[in-house]
Structure 1
Amino acid sequence: MGQPAAKKQKLDFSNSFTVHVGTERKQYMLHTSFATKTSGFFRIAANGRWKESKDNKLTLPDVRPSTFEVYLEWLYTDKIVLLETETGRNPDGTPKLRKGADTAYPQLLRLYCLAQYLLDLTFQNTVIDHLIKSVLHFKVHPGVSDVKTIWPLVPDNSPIK
């Protein structure tokens, strides 16, 4: 006889908080149970000791909304969906979209920085897995400009350095 199925934890959608992201302070509603599942930062914020946590409002001014949206998609679906980059317009007016190494690496490296900031080791490892898959797929490594972008954003003891 096989093992009994693992009990799936019931999802809790009853508590949420607001996160203002970027310099434009784009607003996102986030379920506390999802946010605290893997993020140490959100766990600390949710414990009520910060002034912001008492108001159920957090601010991440140094994070791009597009980066945070990829994180949220992963948080709720367990999938990293990278954004395509608009590179102009087609004759019919629709956007020309590009997805390749030159757009994937900057996004993945920003996601890695966000994962470190949010103390989310699970997401950090997922991003590293995607970086490795991207190197194998595109057959090109992140460039010097990619490294220069994230170098000042990660701590000296960061594994990515």
Structure 2
Amino acid sequence: MADDERPAKRARYDFDFADHIHVLVGPSKRDFVVHVGVLTKRSAFFKAAVSKRWKTSGDGTKAIVLPDDDASVFHDYLQCMYTGTVRTGYLRRVIDIYILADKLQDPASMNITINAIIRSSDEKNFIPGRVNISHAWKRTAPGSKLRKLLVDYYVHEVTEKVMSKENEEGLDFEDFYYEVITGLVKVKAEVRAAEDSGTSDGLEEVISERPRCYYHQHDDWCPPCASDGSGSDSGGSESE
């Protein structure tokens, strides 16, 4: 997965690096030592956790415990949070980083993973397949920006070849296709309105050419991105 640009222009290193906390992740409680200032500025979850009484591990160390999360995913999430890039070539792992960032209420990291998916799709000429979509769909809430992106790939860029392959896999995915059909109905209405008005500008949408913030989440620390254009052409015809 290609590295991605920062979600917005800002001073990224104005953190307080003096204090740190232990984050114990997974059933084995793998210990990650993280700067408190970084966690609390990026993640509303950690900000709330640190403001409360920290749990104490067996040796008396103050720690936040995430028993149900995957330590390897949390490792990659920290890489994303500290460096502003996604350092994996696997779509499933990028999706898992997004899901964890969503759980931890870190929109900046969510936006970085969205950018990485779009860029990789554009460069490798693929769209996410149903196995990865199903994985994401079960772990995100209605209205999720990741769900919107995945639906839009099928509304705007899916090919007959991909649809034939997906049908052969026989996955039960009614909710996803309902969203796709809803999107197609909306596009059809836009086409009809354009025909009535004598213009078709903007109807041929390519995911990578949309405004950078289209699939982003934002909060006080992560404001909307600067309007400085978008990516290159994408013709995603394969699925991953």
How far residue 79 of structure 1 moved from its aligned partner, in angstroms, is 2.3
Distance 1:136 1:43, change over 3 A: same
Aligned with residue 109 of structure 1, among 65, 78, 95: 95
**Equivalent residue letter for 2:79:** E
Task: Determine if contact 2:85/2:112 at 8 Å carries over to the other structure.
Answer: no
TM-score (norm 2): 0.51
Listed as ranges, the gaps of 5+ residues in structure 2 are 1-9, 148-240
Q: Against the structure 1 CA distance between its residues 27 and 138, is the aligned structure 2 distance closer, same or farther, given a 3 Å change threshold?
A: same
1:66 deviation in Å? 1.6
Aligned to 2:237: none
TM-score (norm 1): 0.73
User: Which residue of 22, 40, 44 corresponds with 2:44?
Assistant: 40
Shift of 1:9: 6.0
What CA distance in whole angstroms lies between the structure 1 residues aligned with 2:12 and 2:131? Answer: 43
Name the aligned partner's letter for residue 46 of structure 1.
V
Report 1:4-153 matches (<5 A): 10-47=14-51, 49-50=52-53, 52=55, 56-82=62-88, 99=89, 104-153=90-139
Judging by fraction of residues, say which structure has more strand. 1
Alpha-carbon distance in structure 1 between the residues aligned to 2:11 and 2:98: 31
- Describe the shift of the 1:8–1:150 C-alpha distance in structure 2 as closer, same or farther (beyond 3 A): closer
Distance 1:128 1:134 in 2: 10
- Per-residue CA deviation, residues 72-124 of structure 1 (Å, 9 max, x unaligned), is 11222222211xxxxxxxxxxxxxxxx5xxxx210111011011001001111
Question: Any conservation in 2 of the 1:16–1:56 contact (CA below 8 Å)?
Answer: no
Separation in 1 of the partners of 2:13 and 2:120? 33
Aligned partner letter, 2:55: E
The count of residues paired between Structure 1 and Structure 2 equals 134
Q: Distance in 2 between matches of 1:39 and 1:150?
A: 21
The sequence identity of aligned pairs, in percent, is 25
Unpaired runs of 5+ residues, structure 1, are: 1-5, 83-98
RCO higher in structure (CA 8 A, sep ≥6): 2
